[in-house]
Amino acid sequence: MTKRSMTVDDHRFLMNAVNIARVHMERGHGGPFGALIVKDGILLAEGWNEVTTANDPTAHAEVVAIRRACASLGSFSLTGTTIYASCEPCPMCLGAIYWAHIDRLVFAGNKADAAAAGFDDAFIYEEFERDAAKRRLVTVHSPLIEMDAVFSAWLAKTDRKPY
């Protein structure tokens, strides 16, 4: 069995993520998205979309689940875990999954489904593929030698902690 195939446990956890999406949408907590993080078959944390109730545009299901799983472990690394998401992660959440060093992602809906339901995931993925000069986000790159000096100081810092 490769890790790219679905197990019975995978199906159960993914169905739970979809159920979280439904329940919290029905309760008016935010968009219809749910996620959970599992390590060695044990549930570490659940998350659901709370953007409009928490007034936090970063409070997507996956980001919330990552924060909670890290808090429960007391670690900024989720190595060895799988994240189950009701829908394909948007660029923000996919980036968060990489920074958390999660090993495996299992999802149900995809970004086209999300777009059809009125969410910007596909648009944001398209923006990423454009040159910065052609993005809707007006983008200005202004190099500063002062920032080069900060990076040099970081590399010279003997007690720096990588993440």
Partnered with residue 85 across adjacent β-strands are 35, 107
- Footprint of a second copy on 40-59 (CB under 8 A): 51-52, 54-58
- Footprint of a second copy on 122-141 (CB under 8 A): 124, 127-128, 133, 137-141
Backbone φ/ψ region at 138: left (φ over 0), alpha (ψ -120 to 50), beta: beta
- Footprint of a second copy on 71-90 (CB under 8 A): 71, 73-78, 86-88, 90
Q: Which of 26, 46, 50, 62 is catalytic?
A: 62
Judged by CB under 8 A, does residue 15 bind a second copy? yes
- Please identify which residue in 28, 40, 42, 131 interacts with a second copy, judged by CB under 8 A: 28
Judged by CB under 8 A, does residue 8 bind a second copy? no
Q: Which is nearer to a second copy, 43 or 125 (CB)?
A: 125
CA distance 22 to 27: 9
CA distance 49 to 65: 10
DSSP state of 89: P
Q: How far is the CB of 146 from a second copy (least distance, A)?
A: 5
Q: How far is the CB of 41 from a second copy (least distance, A)?
A: 16
Q: Which residues contact 87 (CB under 8 A, 6 or more apart)?
A: 21, 33, 107, 108, 109, 110, 111, 113, 114, 121
Q: Which is nearer to a second copy, 42 or 137 (CB)?
A: 137
- Footprint of a second copy on 96-125 (CB under 8 A): 96-110, 113-114, 116-118, 120, 124
Q: Which amino acid belongs to residue 52?
A: T
**146 labelled catalytic:** no
DSSP string, 9-65: HHHHHHHHHHHHHHHHHHTTSSSS-EEEEEETTEEEEEEE--HHHHT-TT--HHHHH
Judged by CB under 8 A, does residue 4 bind a second copy? yes
Q: Which residues are catalytic?
A: 62
